[in-house]
Structure 1
Amino acid sequence: MAQAGMCELLDKSLAESKDISPSDKMFLHNEVMYPTMICCPETLKILDTFEARSDDVILVGYPKTGTNWVGQILVELEAVSGKYDDEERKKRRTRQRESELSLFPYLEFGDPEKFERMKQLPSRRRIKTHLAPQTLPKSIFKNKTKILVLFRNPKDTAVSYFHFANGMKLFPTQKTWDEFFPDFIRGTVPWGLYLDHIMEWNKYLDDKNVMFITYEEIKENPALGVKRMAEFFDFSVSEQEIQFIVEKTSFKTMKDEASETHGEMGKSLFRKGIVGDWKNVFSENQNEEMDRKFEESVARTKLGMMLKYDVYCKC
């Protein structure tokens, strides 16, 4: 029932976006673009009225870095660590999902009244967002809420974003890859320049309430990735339970269930889920331009080095 309701909400947003005129598909807020189909200016204007709780579970990731995948891992961690029997797990999950239906899945999505409704959600609340740290509600840092920040190599992120944006019709007109790439490199896409997100989060490397993880390290060793997340958020799970979560949140499993969990949007959210797909898309000049931009901005930062650009973004 809850999953069906979520699908209805997502499909409704997609359907309504078809009636939005091309010139109104995007809006600017504090010099960053956002898509009208899922965000509205009024919500972003009152973001700071959101009151975070110290036990909230917050997942942050630039679009197409894997937030839907990691978000589901966090859902399973909460369920498994509760040691509920199957019936109780179903009841708790249903209650949580039904509460979330009126909220939309990301902090910046939906109507401004959502923040009042979020006060009614039971702890621990799971909250996702694509926002950069300087845009997040101040209460998150003030209340020392734990934040899991997810990154993915910039080239795969760009390719995944391109397919998602066209599939969701985010832009006024469909774009070819060669048209999209300059927009991505300049940051004239929703949620701004990805390299800026990396630069801003680099300032929080010493914050004990912030944990950084990459898409690639979870792909290479999902059990270790799940274990790290569990320890950070104080979820109590056994090695056997970790393996159960790994299997339940595999890309294949999530893609097979995408139509049930995300409706029509599922087709755009779950495409390949692999590392290195950029090699099939980038031209030589685009490769060089991305390499140069990365080198000029974040390559020498600690976070930039953690992303292992030379491993994942060089031929």
Structure 2
Amino acid sequence: MENSRKAFTDLIAKGVAAGSVMKRDEMMFSHKGILYPTTICSPEAFKALESFEARSDDVILAGYPKSGTNWLSQILNDLIAISQKKTLGKEKLEEFPYLEVGDPEKYERMLKLPSPRFMATHLRPENLPTSIFRKKVKILLLVRNPKDVATSFFHFSNGLGILPSYDTWDDFFTDFMSKKVAWGSYFEYLSEWNKYIDKENIMAITYEELKENPALGVKNIAAFFGIPLTEEELQLVVERSSFQSMKKNSEKTHGSFGNVFFRKGGVSDWKNLFSEEQNEKMDKVFEEQVAGTKLGKKLKYDVYCKA
């Protein structure tokens, strides 16, 4: 396995090992009313994160779990490499890229990382370090239709031992809708991020639009971060970030966990799990909490989430 991804695979392996000896009710802790996995996060790290000092040229990807952040991480890392005239796929990952995941000393070590630093996060904006907004760091916000997010989250929870597993889809759906999953309610996540959507340093993109037209999506992302691309470079990034390519390469990038991180990568898999009653329940919550917002409209719920 490539040494460049060792920080990623080592931390996941450590989390899985920790989860294997925990009781179900020990696998999560609450921080500011939101649940997080004890296996990879800690209250001490959250405390240390509060004083994290962002740089204005940091590159941040924000997205709720299972909305496609691994996919976008590949795209953004390739774009950063292109901007620095480096060979794609050869960058060394010094730290686990998710801001809230890891030990409390991580943020001290990150002070020594060269710019631009790439970071991803599943956190809501109000729980991010204030320096990110003070420095007006550019944030790419990735959102995905909630039914596919829930479906992917269910399979992920059962495939990777860092989270509590579920005997049935119905049990998971109940927890997902009642904020009892890691990183809390997706609908509240969307509502909170919607408050930031008009800021010039934030760009929102949907998983679905990137699936529909990957080249246009990559082009827009590069333009947002001010990275000039030749047509050849654009096509290379698109090819390397295709699901087939990333799944094929997943043993190198994600070790033995590759198949868990790259399961299907499609749209509308929710139709294989949702009952009529569950469809109606989620439609109602979406309508009440998100539908009238800018982010809600961007999700094209009627196109992707109606049975």
Aligned amino acid, residue 34 of structure 1: Y
Q: Normalising by structure 1, report the TM-score.
A: 0.93
Aligned amino acid, residue 136 of structure 1: L
Show the 5 A alignment for 1:32-71: 32-71=34-73
Q: 1:304 aligns with which of 275, 293, 296?
A: 296
Report the secondary structure of 1:255's partner residue.
Answer: helix
Partner of 2:105: 113
> What is the CA-CA distance between 1:90 and the residue it aligns to?
6.8
- Structure 2 distance, partners of 1:64, 1:23, is 22
Partner of 2:248: 256
Q: Normalising by structure 2, report the TM-score.
A: 0.95
CA contact (8 A) 1:59 1:150 kept: yes
Matched, 1:162 2:154: yes
Matched, 1:134 2:126: yes
CA contact (8 A) 1:62 1:191 kept: yes
Report the secondary structure of 1:140's partner residue.
Answer: helix
Q: Please give the per-residue CA displacement for 1:192-233, whole angstroms capped at 9, x wherever unaligned.
A: 000001111111121000000000000000000001110111
More helix by share: 1
Report the secondary structure of 1:261's partner residue.
Answer: helix
Aligned amino acid, residue 117 of structure 2: R
- Structure 1 distance, partners of 2:232, 2:4, is 28
Partner of 1:214: 206
Partner of 1:291: 283
Q: 1:81 aligns with which of 83, 88, 92?
A: 83
Partner of 1:230: 222
Matched, 1:272 2:264: yes
- Structure 1 distance, partners of 2:47, 2:41, is 11
Q: 1:20 aligns with which of 19, 22, 27?
A: 22
> What is the CA-CA distance between 1:262 and the residue it aligns to?
1.1
Report the secondary structure of 2:195's partner residue.
Answer: helix
Closer/same/farther in 2, CA of residues 47 and 4 from structure 1, 3 Å limit: closer
Structure 2: any 5+ residue segments left out of the alignment? Answer: none
- Structure 2 distance, partners of 1:8, 1:170, is 13
CA contact (8 A) 1:7 1:260 kept: no
- Structure 1 distance, partners of 2:223, 2:115, is 18
CA contact (8 A) 1:11 1:263 kept: no
CA contact (8 A) 1:29 1:41 kept: yes
- Structure 2 distance, partners of 1:202, 1:174, is 31
Closer/same/farther in 2, CA of residues 113 and 29 from structure 1, 3 Å limit: same
> What is the CA-CA distance between 1:105 and the residue it aligns to?
2.3
> What is the CA-CA distance between 1:261 and the residue it aligns to?
1.0
- Structure 1 distance, partners of 2:83, 2:164, is 44
Matched, 1:8 2:10: yes
Query: What percentage of aligned pairs have identical amino acids?
Result: 55
Q: Please give the per-residue CA displacement for 1:65-108, whole angstroms capped at 9, x wherever unaligned.
A: 00000011001111123234x4xx676x13xx2x22xxx22100
- Structure 2 distance, partners of 1:90, 1:150, is 22
Matched, 1:188 2:180: yes
Closer/same/farther in 2, CA of residues 250 and 54 from structure 1, 3 Å limit: same
Aligned amino acid, residue 195 of structure 1: F
Q: Please give the per-residue CA displacement for 1:48-67, whole angstroms capped at 9, x wherever unaligned.
A: 11100000000000000000
Aligned amino acid, residue 68 of structure 1: N
Structure 1: any 5+ residue segments left out of the alignment? Answer: none
> What is the CA-CA distance between 1:45 and the residue it aligns to?
2.1
Closer/same/farther in 2, CA of residues 170 and 284 from structure 1, 3 Å limit: farther
Q: Please give the per-residue CA displacement for 1:5-48, whole angstroms capped at 9, x wherever unaligned.
A: 54333323222321223221111111100001111111112321
Q: 2:231 aligns with which of 228, 239, 244?
A: 239
Report the secondary structure of 1:27's partner residue.
Answer: strand
RMSD of Structure 2 on Structure 1 (CA): 1.5
Greater mean deviation of Cα atoms: 233-242 or 17-26: 17-26
